[in-house]
Structure 1
């Protein structure tokens, strides 16, 4: 666990505190990408990580920072981790601010042909980044060694903060909990018919957008109703267990209490995220929408049949 937390956490974490000279401090309006590198990487792994993360830049400039165990202590321990200054850091990431309204985009990159992020998905990173308060950014994640990637987000929001955007620690804590909760539910439902990580993350993103309509005064019972509706909408009613549903509800209550809903852009970013998830898994959501349409048509037919049954007091046979 420590190893995975190190990776991305380190990477982006380095952004917020690391060893920058005064002339290289990132300004709030600076869109120069920032690459975070774990202090435990060997020299060859460090260069390989840089090459992997910056391949899309086509030679454009970027900044680098080194993340250490002390950075993990500062950013992750408040959310329940137990790192020390001697903890290793392998995970790495690159973050780049983008234009307003572009949303949060995450891509997990192979390292030497292998996806070494073994557990956390891109959609899970997106949802957690939204909760942490990150907006409009491209985020790239990779690892030179196999790691579950749970700590990656910590580095991401630390890096984002270094670009001049302050993040609320309560939201950061909620984001870390979200990463653990959603990845755990996906692992529990792995290979189960009717389940996909995209459906779960779309349900959570949709719930956030609905919650934002009410604002920070939304009640816990309203959150419960929203979760039930989103689970049904994403065809997960017979897949998600009651315990997993309770975890999602508790998570969203924590997100509400963190102050995330007070952000004017939270709803827009959540809606954007939901659209991204659906566009990225069209085969799944086209099927779900088709089924939803069939269910609606059947409901209309049932209503018509019941109407005439009541009207004529007899059985109506269609066919």
Structure 2
């Protein structure tokens, strides 16, 4: 019994140590750089519920060394109502730093605290922001406490409205929020995960840019083909939600041609993450199997 207990303890320690090597590490926030006079100062948006100490922590996380070199604003419950028809009593913690870039430079999302953004991935933010009309910017997202991450999107919208001549179309921001909500909801379904959902949304947008469906029927066919190609199984209700979402985008004449190269890059990033996850899981399981094989062979030699 003592020997069996010792074997279990060694195996458990091995699994824990090995699994820690698989933790996803986010990219760091972009380094401080010279001010782009065309766009003005980067804008930092703080969640209203942050305490003074938490706000100071967010400044450190976003590498804000000199507050005179950024514009600081606060996102409130009223903003949540205005931009996404949310609950004004919601606690807003997730914060963001937005640095606008020249046209064609693309959209970069840095999750500075991925361990505290529990539902929204970088790819989900990117997809929603492209839908909202934000195409060229570096966006750093951080929270000192665990949150879903939805309120950061509202803060980013508000930051754009604070800039000169950069106001966003409210109908597009509402659709973008619907997209983010649907994405996080689908990612909780059995058989799906964040990467698979992001891949689905990105691939549908790419197909819309290429095929330009003129009717709802054509759009439905496009979506069904993509569901089949990606081997994604949805309930009839979730399929209809997906169709309704993209029909709203079609009626708003959202032109994904303008961001097709970004969608391609996003699709490649998602594919790489999926492939890496599969490879890491296989390698991890092979390592465990080899460990136990060697361990059992050693035990056999002890008693032979």
For residues 200-232 of structure 1, the C-alpha deviation after alignment (integer angstroms, 9 at most, x for no partner) is: 2222122223323455x7211111122122223
Match of 1:62 among 70, 81, 87: 70
Matches of 1:280 and 1:231 in 2, distance apart? Answer: 16
* Secondary structure of residue in 2 paired with 1:151: helix
What residue number does 1:218 align with?
214
**1:31-110 to 2 correspondences below 5 Å:** 32-54=41-63, 61-77=69-85, 81-83=86-88, 87-110=90-113
Q: Indicate whether 1:279 and 2:269 are aligned.
A: yes
Q: Give the C-alpha shift of residue 29 in structure 1.
A: 3.0
Question: How does the TM-score come out when normalised to structure 1?
Answer: 0.67
Query: Quick one: distance in 1 between partners of 2:186 and 2:71?
Result: 36
Contact residue 211 and residue 218 of structure 1 kept, 8 A: no
Q: Report the CA distance shift for 1:271/1:200 in structure 2 as closer, same or farther (over 3 A).
A: farther
**Contact 1:209/1:268 (CA < 8 Å) preserved in 2?**
no
Q: Which runs of 5+ in 2 are unaligned?
A: 1-34, 279-304
Deviation at 1:172, TM superposition (A): 0.9
Q: TM-score, normalised by structure 2?
A: 0.70
Superposed, which structure 2 residues align to 1:82-231 within 5 Å?
A: 82-83=87-88, 87-110=90-113, 115-163=115-163, 164-189=165-190, 192=191, 195-213=192-210, 218-231=214-227
Residue 286 of structure 1: CA displacement?
8.7
> What is the rounded CA distance, in whole Å, between the counterparts of 1:33 and 1:169 in structure 2?
22
Cα 1:281–1:60 shift into 2, 3 Å: farther
What is the rounded CA distance, in whole Å, between the counterparts of 2:265 and 2:148 in structure 1?
26
Note if contact 1:118-1:146 (Cα within 8 Å) is conserved in structure 2.
yes
Could you say what the CA RMSD is over the residues aligned between the two structures, in angstroms? 3.0
Moved more, 94-103 or 59-68: 59-68
Closer, same or farther in 2 for the Cα pair 1:73/1:279, shift >3 Å?
A: closer
How many residues matched? 243
Greater relative contact order, per chain length (Cα 8 Å cut-off, separation 6+): 1
Structure 1 distance, partners of 2:160, 2:59, is: 18
Paired residues of 2:108 and 2:139 also in contact (CA < 8 A): yes
CA contact (8 A) 2:105 2:137 kept: yes
Give the deviation of 1:287 after TM superposition. Answer: 10
Gaps of 5+ in 1: 1-25, 289-319
